[in-house]
Amino acid sequence: MLHFQQVAMKERNKLKRESAANFDQVGDADKLLQQKDEEIRRMQEMLSQMQEKLKESGKDQAAAALSLEPGKRDSVVNV
């Protein structure tokens, strides 16, 4: 009976060690996922800023095209 208890105790200890190692791996994976989520958030923010700048520059270009000198405008009707 003592032998069975010793074997059972060794197996339990082994499982605890393996479980602890897996817990560390899970913790590392969680940390990596958090880092990647933060990186994605920063990239999305940069993308939003770039899109806003593109919209603004598009408005500026459209305004510049509309404000040509009167003599240089194309007219549909020449009177």
Output the DSSP codes for 20-74.
HHHHHHHHHHHHHHHHHHHHHHHHHHHHHHHHHHHHHHHHHHHHHHHT--GGGS-
Torsion of Cα atoms, 24 then 29 then 31 then 34, to 10°: -160
What's the pTM value of the predicted model, to 2 decimals? 0.48
Structure tokens at 77: 């009707």
Condensed to tens digits (0 to 9), the pLDDT of residues 26-66 reads 778 888 999 999 999 999 999 999 999 999 888 877 777 77
